């Protein structure tokens, strides 16, 4: 494996471990602690921090050896395996697609014991999971296989354009955007129902409240659905999907009975803010621009980094190297992407406060969600700036307090 790739992998692992050290440290400032104790007990703060540290430890325990495993495969082990067992496949694209699936599936199998402990056993310990180990494992592998197939298909599309046209830098972002739009459409309608049952909301009082909320926006919704997530886990959420008169609101059943109607209206208003401001579309457009930038940089630096032109990276023998580069580029893009995500979340929070008009309900919702999910209440600022897609709960509470 080229020396520059080894250097980049080493820097990546160093940054990964350094950021994890910040993550373990948390936020020790007195101001943060005082605000946290205004809404949470010391026990709740420590529980959230302990769960976060536990999961962070196992994520690092998986991430470091998985990157080293890809590095080993990149050094020639995968090429020998591929030529021995897949060498008879004549189609270049079929070999590439199958190689993506096999290597990624290997990473998933390697990840399974870490996820089993940090996801299932830890979830059981903290009262977050409501299913047995067999069901959890089946769901883990089912969702992983769906992801692998979709990911491999998308990368195969990239390979087709790279091989067929010199203008792939312009076409690939379009492919990424359209793929994202299609996925955003099919995921809640066809993939989510594979894992959760749905039913129409039967609470007429809550239904009337949501309908009145939407009258203020001028939006029309076709129906309000309940996603039966409580059979699997205790996390609570809501979302909105659809266009035109076919729009629908979906509530996790964990919201019902545990949260007041005003709190549920606050989370519905928040999700409506995302919908009204086209955050999914904007996010995909920004992502498409990022993809264009990555391919431009890769085209300029691929030979220097890997000894191969970029077009040669999309070959069956180079799959481990390609996955390594995807991991590293994704890591490098996190601060920008997550900063944009937090900005959109802040926008949706302000939309919720204005539409629902109930700061107290918003604060109570934020506090209770964090308690139920046993989330990290006082995360480290440096770690959060790099990894967090949502603002810290205390920041969201402070926004609502200032809005009063």
For residue range 213-250, list pLDDT tens digits in order: 989 988 878 789 999 999 999 999 998 887 555 578 89
Mean residue pLDDT of the chain comes to: 93
- Greatest C-alpha distance within the chain: 68
Q: Is residue 77 part of a domain?
A: yes
d(CA 387, CA 28): 19
Q: Which residue shows structure tokens 């890769």?
A: 298
Residue 220 resides in a domain: no
Minimal CA–CA distance to 382: which of 18, 79, 104? 18
Express the helix, strand and coil content of the chain in percent, nearest 5 each.
Answer: 75, 5, 20
- The predicted pLDDT at position 300 comes to 86
Which residue ranges in the chain fall short of pLDDT 70? Answer: 1-2, 243-246
Measured in whole angstroms, how far is the alpha carbon of residue 388 from the centre of its chain? 10
pLDDT (0 to 100) of residue 201: 94
Q: Is residue 261 part of a domain?
A: no
Is 189 among the domain residues?
yes
Select from 74, 76, 82 the least CA-distant residue to 99: 82
Cβ distance 101 to 152 under 8 Å?
yes
- Asked whether residue 217 is assigned to any structural domain, the reply reads no
| pLDDT for res 121 | 97
pLDDT at residue 185 in the model? 87
Tell whether 329 is covered by a domain: yes
Question: So what's the pLDDT on residue 43?
Answer: 97
pTM score: 0.92
How far is residue 18's CA from residue 28's CA, in Å, rounded to a whole number? 17
Q: Could you tell me which residues come within 8 angstroms of residue 280 by beta carbon, excluding any fewer than 6 positions away?
A: 184, 274
- Residue 239 inside a domain? The answer is no
Structural domains counted in the chain: 1
**Looking at residue 77, what is its pLDDT?**
95
Residue 67: domain span: 3-196+277-403
Domain assignment present for residue 216? The answer is no
Neighbour tally for 243: CB within 10 Å: 8
Name the token pair of 170. 């312009």
Angle formed by the axes of helices 359-373 and 393-403, nearest 10°: 170
């Amino acid at each position: 494996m080229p020396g520059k790739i080894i250097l980049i992998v080493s820097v990546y692992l160093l940054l990964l471990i350094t950021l994890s050290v910040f993550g373990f440290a948390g936020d020790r400032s007195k101001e943060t602690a005082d605000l946290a104790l205004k809404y949470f007990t010391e026990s709740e703060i420590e529980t959230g921090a302990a769960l976060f540290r536990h999961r962070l430890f196992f994520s690092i325990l998986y991430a470091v050896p998985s990157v080293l495993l890809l590095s080993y495969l990149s050094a020639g082990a995968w090429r020998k395996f591929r030529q021995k067992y897949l060498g008879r496949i004549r189609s270049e694209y079929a070999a590439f697609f199958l190689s993506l699936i096999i290597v990624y599936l290997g990473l998933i199998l390697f990840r399974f014991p870490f996820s089993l402990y940090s996801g299932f056993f830890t979830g059981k310990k903290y009262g977050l999971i409501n299913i047995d180990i067999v069901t959890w494992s089946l769901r883990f592998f089912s969702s992983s296989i769906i992801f692998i197939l979709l990911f491999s298909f998308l990368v195969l599309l990239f390979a087709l354009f790279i091989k067929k046209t010199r203008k792939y830098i312009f076409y690939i972002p379009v492919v990424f955007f359209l793929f994202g739009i299609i996925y955003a459409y099919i995921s809640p309608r066809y993939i989510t129902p594979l894992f959760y049952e749905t039913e129409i909301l039967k609470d007429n009082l809550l239904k009337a409240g949501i309908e009145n909320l939407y009258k203020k926006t001028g939006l029309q919704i076709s129906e309000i659905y309940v996603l039966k997530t409580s059979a699997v886990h205790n996390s609570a959420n809501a979302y909105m999907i659809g266009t035109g008169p076919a729009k629908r609101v979906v509530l996790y059943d964990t919201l019902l009975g545990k949260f007041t109607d005003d709190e549920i209206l606050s989370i519905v208003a928040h999700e409506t803010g995302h919908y009204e401001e086209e955050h999914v579309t904007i996010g995909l457009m920004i992502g498409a621009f990022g993809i264009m930038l990555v391919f431009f940089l890769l085209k300029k630096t691929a030979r220097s980094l890997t000894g191969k032109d970029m077009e040669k990276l999309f070959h069956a023998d180079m799959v481990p190297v390609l996955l390594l580069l995807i991991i590293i580029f994704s890591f490098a893009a996190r601060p920008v992407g997550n900063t944009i995500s937090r900005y959109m979340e802040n926008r949706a929070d302000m939309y919720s406060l204005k539409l629902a008009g109930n700061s107290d309900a918003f604060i109570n919702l934020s506090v209770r969600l964090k308690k139920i999910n046993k989330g990290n209440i006082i995360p480290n600022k440096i770690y959060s700036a790099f990894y967090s897609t949502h603002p810290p709960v205390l920041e969201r509470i402070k926004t609502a307090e200032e809005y009063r």
